[in-house]
Amino acid sequence: MGKTYNIAVIPGDGTGPEVTAEAIKVLKAAEDKFGFGVELTEYDFGGERYKRTGETLPDSAVEELRKFDSILLGAIGHPDVKPGILEKGILLKARFELDQYINLRPVKLYPGVACPLKDKGPAEIDYVVVRENTGDLYTGTGGFTMKGTSNEVAVQSSVYNRFQVDRCLKYAFEYAKKYGKKARGVGKENTLALCGKTNVLTYVYDLWERAFHEMGQKEYPDIKREYYHVDATCMWMVKNPEWFDVIVTGNMFGDIITDLGAITQGGMGIAAGGNINPQGVSMFEPIGGSAPKYTGKGVINPLAAICAMQMMLQTLGEEKAADKVEEAVKYVTSEKLESMQAGKMGYSTSEVGDLVANKVAE
């Protein structure tokens, strides 16, 4: 018997519980097959609990979550709750309080998945975005003056310090060294691209750019460094996604470009991400929302949640199990599903979970 992992599960709102159940089904199949153990503890944080109790993610819960090996999250967002409350109160609070300073978002097109980009396939769409996850416009630095008057001023600042930038870059360089295209045997070089806006954000991205080249020159001379402005990044992600290997960027740009990336890999039915604290507890989530209109119908695609769980296994160090789950997902996308879209898969949510779990168990 290998290690036993204590996993906190937050199924959350909308279709979150449905997709999380399938991720757990596959996790159990991997547990049996690869001989590690999982102990699951479920938490009901989300819109329903907020409506009942007014509580989002209490400080005591943050302290509890700290003790787990990992957290698996379904979705946060409820149609009856004003936008921002649950997102800030649960998702962003967990990211900030648990210092999950990396948001890792693979942009990987699996075989059989329809891609909206002309003439692009799995060989071309195969990169990851390392999004900084604790700074930037997300810190809430700013405020209003003269609110409610015609002279009202609103300020919201992009905030970064050198420490935050350096630790994110360190993670990105290490990631490129370990999982870059050369390391994986699919390219000639391991490349790290900084996505910024040095022509306008001449303070924040100047800091990023200097830190990037300093660290690269000193510590990672074998990793090729590239720089793209964020607007150009969007263009190349559509026109020449094969140029990318590992992209590192700030929180706001990372949020935006990863939705673009997600749609090129088949959309919210398949895109997953990890909020990672390399020294602490990380949290994995499908990046699509709670999809209220599909809730309870058994039609939502659980592959994104399964892929989030797969990233969790990889981060926990269960690489073999992670590889097997990824292989099973690829089998299902290439041989089974008709579409990644809710209601169009040709299978129900739980049938898709069964297909992946059975393949893992084989």
Report d(CA 130, CA 135) in Å as an integer: 13
With CB atoms as reference, the residue minimizing the distance to ligand IPM is: 87
**Using the rule CB under 6 A, which residue among 13, 132, 255, 326 binds ligand IPM?**
255
Long-range contacts of 25-29 (CB under 8 A, 24+ apart): 25/350, 25/353, 25/354, 25/357, 26/306, 26/309, 26/325, 26/328, 26/353, 26/356, 26/357, 26/360, 27/309, 27/313, 28/357, 29/356, 29/357, 29/358, 29/360, 29/361
Report d(CA 307, CA 353) in Å as an integer: 11
* Alpha helix positions (H), 267-348: 303-316, 319-331
Q: How far is the CB of 273 from ligand IPM (least distance, A)?
A: 7
Q: How far is the CB of 327 from ligand IPM (least distance, A)?
A: 27
Residue 100 or residue 315: which is nearer to ligand IPM going by CB? Answer: 100
Answer yes or no whether residue 87 interacts with ligand IPM by CB under 6 A.
Answer: yes
Report d(CA 129, CA 253) in Å as an integer: 10
Q: How far is the CB of 102 from ligand IPM (least distance, A)?
A: 13
Answer yes or no whether residue 31 interacts with ligand IPM by CB under 6 A.
Answer: no
Query: Nearest-CA neighbor of 223 among 231, 215, 211?
Result: 215
Q: Which of Mn ion, ligand IPM, none does residue 90 bind to, with CB < 5 to 8 Å depending on kind? A: none
Q: How far is the CB of 156 from Mn ion (least distance, A)?
A: 17
Q: How far is the CB of 71 from ligand IPM (least distance, A)?
A: 14
Q: Which of Mn ion, ligand IPM, none does residue 87 bind to, with CB < 5 to 8 Å depending on kind? A: ligand IPM
With CB atoms as reference, the residue minimizing the distance to Mn ion is: 255
Q: Which of Mn ion, ligand IPM, none does residue 91 bind to, with CB < 5 to 8 Å depending on kind? A: ligand IPM
Q: How far is the CB of 254 from ligand IPM (least distance, A)?
A: 8
Query: Nearest-CA neighbor of 187 among 123, 114, 277, 144?
Result: 123
Q: How far is the CB of 81 from Mn ion (least distance, A)?
A: 18
Q: Residue written as tokens 């009942």?
A: 52
Residue 9 or residue 287: which is nearer to ligand IPM going by CB? Answer: 287
# residues contacting ligand IPM (CB under 6 A): 5
Please check whether residue 78 is in contact with residue 43, taking contact to mean a CB–CB distance below 8 angstroms.
no
For the segment 114-143, give every residue that binds ligand IPM (CB under 6 A).
none
Answer yes or no whether residue 91 interacts with ligand IPM by CB under 6 A.
Answer: yes
For the segment 287-306, give every residue that binds ligand IPM (CB under 6 A).
287
Query: Nearest-CA neighbor of 210 among 304, 218, 146, 270?
Result: 218
Q: How far is the CB of 172 from ligand IPM (least distance, A)?
A: 18
The residue range among 21-29, 87-95, 140-148, 329-337 that interacts with ligand IPM, by the rule CB under 6 A, is: 87-95
For the segment 156-215, give every residue that binds ligand IPM (CB under 6 A).
none
Residues paired with residue 144 on neighbouring β-strands, in sequence order: 154
Q: Which of Mn ion, ligand IPM, none does residue 329 bind to, with CB < 5 to 8 Å depending on kind? A: none
Q: In the complex, which residues of this chain contact Mn ion (CB under 5 A)?
A: 255
Strand order in the sheet with 282-286: 37-42, 4-12, 70-75, 282-286, 272-276, 102-108, 126-132, 246-249, 191-196, 224-229
DSSP H or E run through 24: helix 16-34
- Contact residues toward ligand IPM (CB under 6 A) are 87, 91-92, 255, 287
